[in-house]
Amino acid sequence: QVQLVESGGGSVQAGGSLRLSCAASAYTRSTICMVWFRQAPGKEREGVAAISASGTWTYYAGSVKGRFTISRDNAKNTVYLQMDSLKPEDTAMYYCAARLGVDCYWRPFGEDGYAYWGQGTQVTVSS
């Protein structure tokens, strides 16, 4: 069983930055893929960024590429999402998700592949 706890959300003005954290417990880090999803009011949940178990491979949604950076510290069992140049359209609930056994290269944003989810952290960007 993997438990995920997100933190770092908040309110910021457009152009600002936030860093989200996702702390994971009790996993075999060599086989875990971790991803950030987000869901805005009235919209479907979408993948934002993914990072492989080793941290050497990352994948981004086109809407955040060049502005967001995903990273991980396996010694701390934590994944981060650095969000810069935030826009009002980035406003959403952000969720951390994880899966075991299959690294991120295969369908990184396929929600049905993720068995473990955090409770979410709200990000609000005002114009």
Q: How far apart are CA 13 and CA 42, in angstroms?
A: 22
Mean pLDDT over residues 18-27, rounded? 89
Give me the helices (H) in the chain, please.
Answer: none
In the predicted structure, residue 30 carries a pLDDT above the cut 90 = no
Q: 10-25 b/e with 16+ CB inside 10 Å = b?
A: eebeeeeebebbbebe
Mean pLDDT across 3-24: 96
pLDDT tens-place string over residues 63-114: 999 999 999 998 898 999 999 999 999 999 999 999 988 889 999 999 998 9
Q: How confident is the model at residue 41 (pLDDT cuts 50, 70, 90)?
A: very high
Cα 12 to Cα 41: distance, rounded to the nearest angstrom: 18
- What average pLDDT is seen over the chain? 93
Evaluate whether 39 touches 47 at the Cβ level (below 8 Å): no
